[in-house]
Amino acid sequence: MIEVLQSIIALIVTLSILVTIHEYGHYWVARLCNVHVLRFSVGFGKPLFVKRGVLPRSVHGDKGCSSQVRDKDSLKATEFVVAAIPLGGFVKMLDEREGFVPEHQKHLAFNNKTVLQRIAIVSAGPLANFLLAIIAYWMLFLVGVTGIIPKLGEVDPESRAGYAGIQSGDEIVAVDGHAVRTWADVNLRLFERLSESGSIVISVKEGSDFAKDHVIPINHWLKGIEEPQPTRALGLQLSYPIIPAVIGDVVVGGRAAKAGLKTGDRIAYANNKKIDSWTEWVHMIQRSPEQTMILSVLRDDQFLELLVVPEEKEIEGEILGFIGVSRVSVPFPKEMQTRITYPVHLALWAAVERTWDITKFTLVSIKKMIMGAISPKNISGPITIAQLANATAQSGLESFIGFLALLSISLGVLNLLPIPVLDGGHLLYYFFELITGKPVPERIQLWGLQLGMFLIISIMFLAFYNDLTRL
């Protein structure tokens, strides 16, 4: 229950930051264009907190007082609202399409601004999200980012990497010509190649300063796989320290939970075989789908005998056993970690590059998903976001800021998609107007609104469904 509450709080904090930044982008540029903002809301539904702001410049006299008569048609100052449902937000502007606007206020209405001004106001929200990501990465690169050196552990000679000549102890320095410094960099570059054909070039250092290229052929690589694991699919794994077979989290309703395994249990023996490490324990589970295993478990200085039957799952065409547990968190040794720092100016450029890389990766992933190359099972909703937000927050400020930057980029990209009701849909209309000199007919806009709402609701339901299946 405590973990659930922590996840909810982490979700609210994370979304509130991202939504506030996004909506403030709209608000700030709207003010620059002298558009009156009626309400700036973080969240939907019943207002929990309301604060009045200021009136637009053009309705103030020389002494800062309203020059207009205070009657029923007088402008009201902007309302800044925190609402009950923290799953989004909005900026409501004065607009003749949404209600009557007196003649003396029409110059403050959004719909009466030039098409370029409307484009600037609408695009400011997603751009604010990208700016947040750049600033976040800049801060991280200034103080230093901790990563795991991509030095390889055991390489199966029968795996793709093994056939390519990659060996245990090699350190990956580049993927497809892109330099990598951490294991996270390796994963990002491999994820970019999902569903593609051709070859992946892995450059490694083999105990010297000279890198050697290893070519791994691929053909529609991991196309349609629900939860792809690129490094594992190639046979690449980190050189982990020996981790004891101690149970961390136990999935509710999983085979381990049904067998009576609990957090903190240490697996001493499995089928009368001594278990010396977590890796050994995992391999044994994976090789025993739907087979009863006799476990000797050390709990509170006492040995217990439990029976567990690993669930059969097909992963990348291979039948493996799973019981629904994770290991306890064990920090990597200092010699396996690297800290990446930059001077001020280089940190900013590195932050821009990282933001661009993640943006490009997100766009390519969306394209592949639409084409069926990547499974829609990879779409995540608020439950997964809450879990990740909580996990990163507990890992430390560095992890949380990195996650915030990643999520901010995703929000920016999502809002720029040319789907009506999203910022990208509005921009599509305005660019049409810019080119043709005529606005999109209201009938077409209405159809687009209905289609956009259908698409967004469908995606939300899919995201929730995926979240629930992961629980």
- pLDDT tens sequence across 61-86: 433 333 343 445 567 889 999 998 88
pLDDT in tens, 209-219: 678 899 999 99
User: Count of CB atoms within 10 A of residue 339's CB?
Assistant: 9
CATH architecture of 160-234: Roll (2.30)
What are φ and ψ of residue 154, in 5° steps? -65, 130
DSSP-assigned states of every residue in 344-363: HHHHHHHHHHHHHHHHHHHH
- What number of residues does the chain have? 471
The pTM for the full model equals: 0.80
Q: Band the pLDDT of 298: cuts 50, 70, 90.
A: very high
Q: What is the pLDDT of residue 70?
A: 42
Q: What angle do CA 249, 470, 452 make, to 5 degrees?
A: 145
Q: What is the mean pLDDT of residues 277-292?
A: 89
Among 39, 31, 32, 37, residue whose Cα is nearest residue 89: 39
Q: What is the pLDDT of residue 63?
A: 39
Tokens representing 42? 């973080």
The arithmetic mean of pLDDT across residues 407-429, rounded, is 93
The DSSP secondary-structure symbol of 59 reads: G
Sheet holding 302-308, edge to edge: 273-274, 266-270, 293-299, 302-308
The average pLDDT across 144-169 equals 89
Range with the lowest mean pLDDT among 56-60, 216-220, 239-243?
Answer: 56-60
SS3 315: strand
Radius of gyration of the chain measured on its C-alpha atoms: 27
Taken in order 111, 112, 118, 121, the sign of the CA dihedral is: negative
Which pLDDT value is given to residue 71? 46
Average pLDDT over residues 242-251: 86
- Which active-site residues does the annotation give? 23
How many CA atoms within 13 Å lie on the side-chain side of 314? 2
Q: Cβ(129)–Cβ(408) under 8 Å?
A: yes
The CATH label, of 3.30.750.200, 2.30.42.10, 3.40.50.1820, 2.40.50.140, for the domain at 247-328 is 2.30.42.10
Residue 3 pLDDT grade (very low, low, confident, very high; cuts 50, 70, 90): low
- Give residue 387's pLDDT: 64
pLDDT greater at residue 299 or residue 56:
299
pLDDT tens figures, 438-458 = 999 988 988 988 888 888 888
Q: Is the pLDDT of residue 233 over 80?
A: yes
Condensed to tens digits (0 to 9), the pLDDT of residues 306-365 reads 999 999 887 656 788 999 888 887 777 788 888 989 998 899 999 999 999 999 989 988
Q: Where are the domains of the chain?
A: 160-234, 247-328
pLDDT, one tens digit per residue, over 86-121 is 888 999 999 998 888 888 889 999 999 999 999 999
pLDDT of residue 147 exceeding 70, the answer is: yes
Tokens representing residue 443 in the block: 């009938």
Tell me what pLDDT residue 433 has: 93
Instruction: Give the torsion sign (CA, 148, 151, 154, 159).
Output: positive
What angle is formed at CA 218 by the lines to CA 216 and CA 223, rounded to 5 degrees? 140
**Measured distance CA(396)–CA(239) in Å, rounded:** 24
160-234 and 247-328 share one fold:
yes
Contact status, residue 432 vs residue 416, Cβ threshold 8 Å: no
- What's the average model confidence in pLDDT over 25-33? 95
pLDDT value of position 370: 85
Average pLDDT over residues 242-267: 88
Residue appearing with tokens 């996004």: 22
